[in-house]
């Protein structure tokens, strides 16, 4: 399935039905009086979060969302039916913004959460409502109130406890494949992952947490380099970031400079993302080149007081210790100690 995480919609609630101008006309009943019914209210436009959806793909092809209008009032005191509400289902984690101003209107973070974003117009009153002692035959009624219309921008931010980040080909997809049932594409070339993926990691004592894998980030992503940094928003809701660093390319490549460059990209994208706690995983420990530079890498990160865990997603070496550290951060340690 194609992963769509942004979509623009033109939304409108239903117009209210018009009130009716009518008079009672029956045999042997002269001057029967007004009996025009009221118009029905217009339908509301409602957004509902559901965990059965994982992308905004369906809305990409339905960019006009309009609720049902209220029916007009009729004679014999018959009121118009109310318009049917339109419920637009979106994935959990969807942010709804005003397209023009960028104002955040709703953040749907729980399954089943609903919000009435556009209220339907009120129905107009029929002429029966306006009969008085001095005006027993009013020849007017109210028109229905118009519904609201708004252009909206929907952004999906994946709901995950743990976010994986690193350079392309650092081993993110291999790790999420090792610890969960997620099966992203894995290959020995950069930018294999083109869309974020989620995996549920089963932990001890029947506990579990959600891990998110996003496409690799490179220096200059904020200027559009590589795949840009549009996928970084999927890490903003993560409680912990696991930064994967591949040291098997030393001394030809500089993983330390790349580590600092990616952190600069985080800071440029979001101050909140920059402040998140990080755990570093040194990947590909099944390769001799990685083993050779392990002590040097551990010393570099420990100097900066960054917890580091050497792992191999192929052999499973160190993976359990990494999951233990993640679990401790998620369920034990207060955030100020991260």
Domain final residue, candidates 130, 156, 182:
156
For residue range 225-249, what is the model confidence (pLDDT) as tens digits?
655 566 777 777 788 889 999 888 8
One domain, residues 176 and 121: no
For residue range 164-210, what is the model confidence (pLDDT) as tens digits?
888 887 888 888 888 887 676 665 545 555 667 778 888 888 788 88
One domain, residues 169 and 123: no
Report the chain's mean pLDDT, rounded to a whole number: 85
Q: What is the pLDDT of residue 172?
A: 82
Q: Which letter, b or e, does each residue of 58-71 get, where b requires 16 or more Cβ atoms within 10 Å of its Cβ?
A: ebeeeeebbbbbbb
Name the strand (E) or helix (H) holding 226.
none
**Average pLDDT for runs of 10 along the chain of length 338:** 77 96 87 91 95 85 93 94 95 91 91 94 94 91 94 86 84 84 61 68 83 75 60 78 87 86 84 83 89 89 88 89 88 53
One domain, residues 78 and 208: no
One domain, residues 130 and 257: no
pTM: 0.72
Cβ contacts of residue 311 below 8 Å, gap of 6+? 175, 281, 282, 283, 285, 317, 318, 319, 321, 322
One domain, residues 198 and 313: yes
N residues, the chain: 338
Return binding residues for GTP.
166-173, 191-195, 213-216, 283-286, 312-314
* Contact predicate 120/42, CB 8 Å: yes
One domain, residues 142 and 13: yes
Answer whether residue 243 is part of any domain: yes
* Contact predicate 10/64, CB 8 Å: yes
Q: What is the pLDDT of residue 187?
A: 57
Domains of the chain: total: 2
Q: Which domain holds residue 248?
A: 162-332
Which H, E and C letters describe 310-325, residue by residue?
A: ECCCCCCCCHHHHHHH
Return binding residues.
166-173, 191-195, 213-216, 283-286, 312-314
Cβ contacts of residue 181 below 8 Å, gap of 6+? 199, 200
Q: What is the pLDDT of residue 131?
A: 92
Q: What is the pLDDT of residue 230?
A: 66
Q: What is the pLDDT of residue 336?
A: 45
One domain, residues 140 and 181: no
One domain, residues 312 and 206: yes
One domain, residues 32 and 147: yes
Q: What is the CATH number of the domain that holds 33?
A: 2.70.210.12
* Contact predicate 48/112, CB 8 Å: yes
Interaxial angle between packed helices 172-179 and 319-331, expressed in degrees from 0 to 180 and rounded to the nearest 10: 80
Domain final residue, candidates 107, 134, 156:
156
Q: Could you give the 3-state DSSP secondary structure of residue 269? A: helix
One domain, residues 309 and 169: yes
Q: What is the pLDDT of residue 329?
A: 84
Q: What is the pLDDT of residue 337?
A: 43
* Contact predicate 232/265, CB 8 Å: yes
Domain final residue, candidates 139, 156, 173:
156
Return binding residues for Mg(2+).
173, 193
DSSP string, 162-224: EEEEESTTSSHHHHHHHHSS------SSS----S-EEEEEE-GGG-EEEEEE-----TTGGGT
Q: What is the pLDDT of residue 220?
A: 66
Q: What is the pLDDT of residue 198?
A: 75
Answer whether residue 69 is part of any domain: yes
If we measure between CA atoms, which residue out of 196, 198, 211, 201 comes closest to residue 162?
Answer: 211
Query: Within 13 A of 190's CA, how many CA atoms are on the CB side?
Result: 9
Answer whether residue 118 is part of any domain: yes
Percent of the chain at pLDDT > 90 equals 37
One domain, residues 77 and 210: no
Q: What is the pLDDT of residue 275?
A: 81
Q: What is the CATH number of the domain that holds 269?
A: 3.40.50.300
């Amino acid at each position: 399935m194609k992963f769509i995480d942004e979509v623009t919609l033109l939304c409108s609630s239903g117009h209210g039905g018009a009130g009716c101008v009518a008079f009672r006309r029956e045999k042997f009943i002269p001057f029967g009086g007004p009996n025009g019914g009221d118009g029905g209210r217009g339908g509301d436009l409602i957004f509902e979060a559901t965990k059965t959806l994982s992308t905004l793909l369906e809305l990409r092809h339905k960019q006009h969302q309009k609720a049902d209008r209220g029916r007009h009032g009729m004679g014999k005191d018959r009121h118009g039916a109310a318009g049917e509400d339109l419920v637009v289902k979106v994935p959990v984690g969807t942010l709804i913004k005003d397209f023009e101003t960028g104002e955040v209107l709703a953040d749907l973070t729980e399954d089943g959460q609903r919000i009435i974003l556009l209220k339907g117009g009120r129905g107009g009153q029929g002429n029966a409502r306006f009969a008085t002692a001095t005006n027993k035959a009013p020849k007017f009624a109210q028109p229905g109130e118009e519904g609201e219309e708004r252009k909206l921008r929907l952004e999906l931010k994946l709901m995950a406890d743990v976010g994986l980040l690193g350079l392309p080909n650092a081993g993110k997809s291999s790790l999420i494949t090792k610890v969960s049932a997620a099966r992203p594409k894995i290959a020995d070339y950069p930018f294999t992952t083109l869309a974020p993926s989620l995996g549920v990691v089963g932990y001890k004592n029947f506990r579990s947490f959600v891990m998110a894998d996003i496409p690799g980030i490179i220096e200059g992503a904020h200027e559009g380099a590589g795949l840009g940094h549009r996928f970084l928003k999927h890490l903003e809701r993560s409680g912990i970031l696991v930064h994967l660093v591949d040291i098997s390319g030393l001394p030809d490549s500089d993983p330390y400079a790349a580590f600092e460059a990616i952190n600069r990209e985080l800071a440029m994208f979001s101050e909140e993302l920059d402040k998140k706690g990080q755990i570093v995983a040194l990947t590909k420990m099944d390769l001799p080149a990685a083993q050779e530079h392990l002590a040097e890498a551990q010393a570099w990160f420990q100097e900066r007081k960054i917890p580091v865990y050497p792992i191999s997603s192929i052999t499973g070496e160190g993976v359990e210790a990494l999951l233990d550290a993640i679990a401790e951060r998620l369920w034990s340690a207060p955030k100020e100690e991260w």
